[in-house]
Amino acid sequence: MLSTRAQWAAGQPIGELMAQALQYPELVSLAAGFVDNATLPCAEVVACFEQLSADASRLRASLQYDTTAGSRSFREVLAQWAYHPWPQARPAVEQLIATAGSNQLLHLITEALIDPGDIVVAAAPTYFVFMGTLKGAGARVFGVSSDEDGMQIEALKETLEQLDGQGLAKRVKAIYLVPDYDNPAGSTLSMQRRQELLELVERWNREKGALVVLWDNAYQLLRYDGEELPPLSAIEPSCRRFVVELGTFSKSFAPGIRVGWGVVPSWLLAPVLEIKANIDFGSAHFNQVLMEIALRDGLVDAHLPAIVATYRSKRDTMLTALEESMGDLPGVQWRHPRGGLYVWLTLPNAVDAAESGLLWRIATKLGVLYVPGVYCFPTEGYPPQRNSIRLSFGVQSHEGIRRGVQMLSQAIRQTLTATV
Amino acid sequence: MLSTRAQWAAGQPIGELMAQALQYPELVSLAAGFVDNATLPCAEVVACFEQLSADASRLRASLQYDTTAGSRSFREVLAQWAYHPWPQARPAVEQLIATAGSNQLLHLITEALIDPGDIVVAAAPTYFVFMGTLKGAGARVFGVSSDEDGMQIEALKETLEQLDGQGLAKRVKAIYLVPDYDNPAGSTLSMQRRQELLELVERWNREKGALVVLWDNAYQLLRYDGEELPPLSAIEPSCRRFVVELGTFSKSFAPGIRVGWGVVPSWLLAPVLEIKANIDFGSAHFNQVLMEIALRDGLVDAHLPAIVATYRSKRDTMLTALEESMGDLPGVQWRHPRGGLYVWLTLPNAVDAAESGLLWRIATKLGVLYVPGVYCFPTEGYPPQRNSIRLSFGVQSHEGIRRGVQMLSQAIRQTLTATV
């Protein structure tokens, strides 16, 4: 009775993780990807609404439908704001689409590009919710090895060459990256790799056919140290013909308002908008108007330092707690993210951190939840690492982070003892 | 490069209609399905937000993510409110899903049920945007003849029997209806037909296999005369196992806030939520909280009479204008809707009202836009009627309606003269 797609979409980690959270509400969760309630911009939203309600005709207009691509005046302000550091990369407003979070745009692009059996190449590990979308469309996802500097472009090149050698060049539709402070690994694609990526994809598009780069910048503004690295369009504006750049206010402002966006290559614009027109003929206009006011009045920019300071100090708390409680454990390593919400932990090879493994049983018994890293690996290409864990420092208090890491340390020690 | 689905989704009427609106901005549009700006609930939204902003912790919570199905407290209030006239039909809150307009739920259900080649049966004419979604998923849509009392259940029965005779019973996944004051035909499914439909689908589910009824109640509350007819679940609560009932605040409150909902059979719930989790992990929480306040405080109910009065009088203006300007034209007929936003007009057989026809050229030259009825017919089953037109009285002023109908009458007369 159900569609093939429903069967493909079944049993995604996001569903299992939510079920866990419900099953173990009393545990310290280092799993949830929610943002910190304390960072939510209450005063800013009140100020936006007050300004809106003072302008009767604008308020009225905000309650009406707008176009499928979104409010033009919002997108004009957004184009200015999002590319303020890189004016050479500022997109034409026609190429900018407002969506229900950047996640909806990932879905629309998938619909527009992917036939069953088509291939997307992603970092291993990568953002697991998007893998669910890809799986639901019948895509094959190939993982490419990555490190603290993000996807290894040499390995990407080898993967593409192998696929080409198997006669699959035309089936490779997209490369997916979270370039800054990624989910789940907290890594950032280095400047050198950005340039190498551009060259590689440029050449592929010239020689082999259309290959899109999905540049998912969800965490771009959550930067705690290090310099701000440019998006691909700021390095080479002409890459707009094969790059989709995605952004969202869900991390940098408020997920409850759920406004995201993307810059879409001209040739992909009509298909994406046609699909969106069938689904919702445009995301909530009211929310776009609120975000337009927030941008115009500098409320997003003014609020951001508080968000960054909160998460920076939570990240430091987590890194310190890891050092103190696991620094002595051989084979236990973690990355030091320069932004974002996640720390990626690797355990000795013998430890299976998946839900079926011993560590999970002990950890949940002791009182801590984490995301098994194995969820974040594509099913083909670079092999899934069952000894990995994604930790989030977004939601927990400092005390919760310390207690959670402490319990996890105990669980790892008990698992290692039982495993040896 | 594009997916098969993108090619299936291409060239939908909704896109062409928007292009027309942009192409002819100075024309009197009797085409647009927007709601009247004057009916938008500005004061009500201000009151909702004031109440929200007075409760700091609630405001904060509204800016955070909620679950994929939507805010539980919103859905509890919604279940009470939406089924207030029919307490026997009140759904379990678990079966109620909040979505970005009811249109998004139509999309999710399509994803969960339809494989390419699967069949949906709909009234002829029917809501063309949903046909776009179905076409994008590769569905075949069969039209069933309908009249002022909605889909003819005898004809539906014949269609189903024919499909069964062709060995296609298992491919028939859903029957789609807009039961009250439908888009585009303004018809309302009679009480007798509701009962016949229930019996027919009950029997089919028992004998042939799962067949879902998509009961799209978008216009339910826009009732101008006649009694309120019950949804299927109020007639027979056990039908919840095969009926999806959909509702929206886009017509009865504000499309810019874009909150819809649906009651989904238990067995279909997990697939729909898994697909929604991949797309957006839940629609904007903030908007659901605003609507919860609007419902709790009776603001939707208090505002509705003003909306109904506005549209009732516009409907009357359109019907009077039609009578005055076309009452003498043989072969020109229109339905008298008891609610909704649309009047369905049928012209003599010789008149082709499609965009490629003479009437369209003359009408746009004279200064009036309409929706060619042919867009609203499924591609199989009951044949498309090229001599039909959808008129909307939602957006235009009374004067605009009168002028538009007057120009359309002139255009029809000129076309008839040229055709004879």
Note the pLDDT tens digit of each residue in A207-227.
999 999 999 999 999 999 999
Is B347 in contact with B387 (CB distance < 8 Å)?
yes
Q: B284 and A284 in contact by Cβ < 8 A? A: yes
**Does the structure show a pLDDT above 90 at A1?**
no
Contact list in B for residue A292 (CB cut-off 8 A) is none
Q: Write down the residue that tokens 């899109």 correspond to.
A: A212
Query: What ipTM is given for this predicted complex?
Result: 0.96
- pLDDT tens track for A376-413: 999 999 999 999 999 999 999 999 999 999 999 999 99
Decide if A250 contacts B249 (C-beta within 8 A). Answer: no
Which chain B residues are Cβ-neighbours of A257 within 8 angstroms?
Answer: 63, 284, 286
Q: How far apart are CA B204 and CA B153, in angstroms?
A: 13
**Of the listed ranges A5-9, A244-248, A368-372, A416-420, the one predicted with least confidence:** A416-420
The confidence score (pLDDT) of residue A26 equals 85
Chain B neighbors of A53, CB-CB under 8 A? 46, 49
First to last CA, chain B: 48
Pairing of strands B371-372, B388-392: antiparallel
Give pLDDT, residue A11: 77
| Residue contacts between A and B (CB atoms, under 8 Å) | 242
In the predicted structure, residue B19 carries a pLDDT above the cut 80: no
What are the chain A neighbours of B29 within 8 Å (beta carbons)? none
- CA nearest to B320, candidates B392, B406, B414: B406
| Amino acid at residue number B397 | S
d(CA A125, CA A131): 11
Q: Where are the alpha helices (DSSP H) in A121-208?
A: 128-136, 153-165, 191-207
No. of helices (H) and no. of strands (E), chain B: 15, 15
Least confident of A48-57, B34-43, B98-107, B264-273: B34-43
Residue B138 dihedral angles phi and psi, to the nearest 5°? 85, 15
Query: Closest approach of chain B CAs to the CA of A302, in angstroms?
Result: 17
List of chain A residues whose C-beta atoms are within 8 Å of the C-beta of residue B1: 113, 173, 209-210, 267
Report the alpha-carbon distance of residue B280 to residue A101 in Å, rounded.
7
CA B390 – CA B187 distance, rounded (Å): 12
Phi, psi of B122 (to 5 degrees): -140, 160
What share of chain B has pLDDT > 70, as a percent?
98
Instruction: Kindly state the average pLDDT of the residues A283-289.
Output: 97
Structure token digits, residue B322: 């039609």
- Look at residue A245 and give its three-state secondary structure: strand
Quick: pLDDT tens for B205-225: 999 999 999 999 999 999 999
- Tell me whether residues A258 and B284 touch, CB distance under 8 A: yes
Burial class (CB in 10 A: 0-12, 13-18, 19+), A184: buried
Q: How confident is the model at residue B286 (pLDDT cuts 50, 70, 90)?
A: very high
Residue in A with minimal Cα distance to B108: A279
**d(Cα A393, Cα A319) in Å, to the nearest integer?**
10
Identify each DSSP E strand in A269-400 by its residue range. Answer: 333-334, 342-346, 368-369, 371-372, 380-381, 388-392
| Nearest C-alpha in A relative to B51 | A46
Give the separation between CA A178 and CA A412, rounded to whole angstroms.
29
Closest by Cβ to B6, choosing from A59, A68, A111: A111
Q: Measured between beta carbons, which residues in chain A are less than 8 angstroms from residue B6?
A: 111-113, 271, 274-275
CB contact under 8 A, B37 and A129: no
Q: Output phi, psi for B264, to 5 deg.
A: -115, 135
Confidence band, pLDDT 50/70/90 cuts, at residue B12:
confident
Contact B277 A132 (CB under 8 A): yes
Task: Tell which residue, B299, B290, B66, has the closest CA to residue A62.
Answer: B290
Cα B209–chain centre separation = 27
CB neighbour class for A347 (10 Å; exposed up to 12, middle 13-18, buried from 19): buried
CB contact under 8 A, B129 and A281: yes
Q: Measured between beta carbons, which residues in chain B are less than 8 angstroms from residue A169?
A: none
Share above pLDDT 90 across residues of chain B, in percent, rounded to a whole number? 92
Tokens representing A77 are 């302000």
Report CB contact under 8 Å: B5, A40: no
As a whole number of angstroms, the distance between CA A269 and CA B144 comes to 35
Residues of chain B contacting residue A118, judged by C-beta atoms under 8 Å apart: 3
CB B13 within 8 Å of CB B381? no
Q: Which of B8, B63, B211 to mutate to test the interface with A (most CBs of A within 10 A)?
A: B63
What pTM was estimated for this model as a whole?
0.96
User: B-chain residues within 8 Å CB-CB of A132?
Assistant: 274, 277-278
Work out the mean pLDDT of chain B and round it to a whole number. Answer: 95
Q: With beta carbons less than 8 A apart as the criterion, state whether B108 and A278 touch.
A: no
pLDDT value for B298? 97
Mutation pick from B1, B36, B40 vs chain A, by most beta carbons of A within 10 Å, is B1
Residue of B nearest to A101 (CA): B280
pLDDT tops 80 at residue B305: yes
Vertex B136: Cα angle to B135 and B137 (nearest 5): 90
| Structure confidence at residue B179 (pLDDT) | 98
Q: Can you give the pLDDT at residue A14?
A: 66
Q: What domains, with CATH codes, occur in chain A?
A: 4-40+304-419 (3.90.1150.10), 42-300 (3.40.640.10)
For B395-405, what is each residue's pLDDT tens digit?
999 999 999 99
CB contact under 8 A, B277 and A107: no
Contact criterion met (CB < 8 Å) for B1 and A173: yes
Nearest CA in chain B to A4: B115
Residues 6+ apart with CB under 8 A from A325: A405, A406, A408, A409
**Digit-coded pLDDT (tens) for A156-165:** 999 999 999 9
pLDDT at A22 over 70: no
- DSSP assignment string, B276-309: HHHHTSSS-HHHHHHHHHHHHTTHHHHHHHHHHH
Q: Do A279 and B1 touch (CB under 8 A)?
A: no
Inter-chain contact B100–A283, Cβ cutoff 8 Å? yes
Q: What letter would DSSP give residue B36? A: P
Contact B261, B212 (CB under 8 A): no
The Cα–Cα gap between B217 and B102 comes to 9
- Closest chain B residue to the Cα of A275, Cα to Cα: B9
Q: Is B144 exposed, middle or buried (0-12, 13-18, 19+ CB in 10 A)?
A: buried
Name the nearest CA neighbour of B13 among B117, B133, B144, B104: B133
Pairing type for strands B172-177 and B150-151 reads unpaired
